[in-house]
Amino acid sequence: MLDLVQVCPHDDADHCACRKPAPGMLVEAAKALDIHLPTSFMVGDRWRDVEAGTRAGAHTVFIDHHYPERAPTAPDFIAASLCDAVPHILQRSSQELHHESH
């Protein structure tokens, strides 16, 4: 099920709040869908994705495809694929739920 699709039509020169690494789209989606960002995950394969997730207050997962560009700064987890990231996300989510219940 797909609940929301968002696209930023701008480029870097526009300096808008929605173009990653700005967190605008994540913050707006969180408001629209009642998502708690501190217990959410931003998964991406570019440094901009990780930076946007960090700025939004979410956990970050970097899918490293070894693109010839700058690496993200301090993602919470690095994986080779989304499939490799899923166990980490599930474990971390379980820990978050456990901490919230205590």
HSE-up of residue 21 (Cα within 13 Å, Cβ side): 12
pLDDT value at position 26? 97
Residue 94 domain flag: yes
pLDDT value at position 9? 94
**Number of CB atoms found within 10 A of residue 52's CB:** 24
Residue 48 domain flag: yes
pLDDT tens track for 64-91: 999 999 999 999 999 999 999 999 999 9
Residue 62 domain flag: yes
Single pTM value for the model? 0.89
Domain count, the chain: 1
Report residues of the chain scoring pLDDT below 70: 98-102
pLDDT value at position 94? 87
Q: How far apart are CA 7 and CA 89, in angstroms?
A: 25
Q: What is the mean pLDDT of the chain?
A: 93
**Sign of torsion over alpha carbons 33, 51, 63, 90:** negative
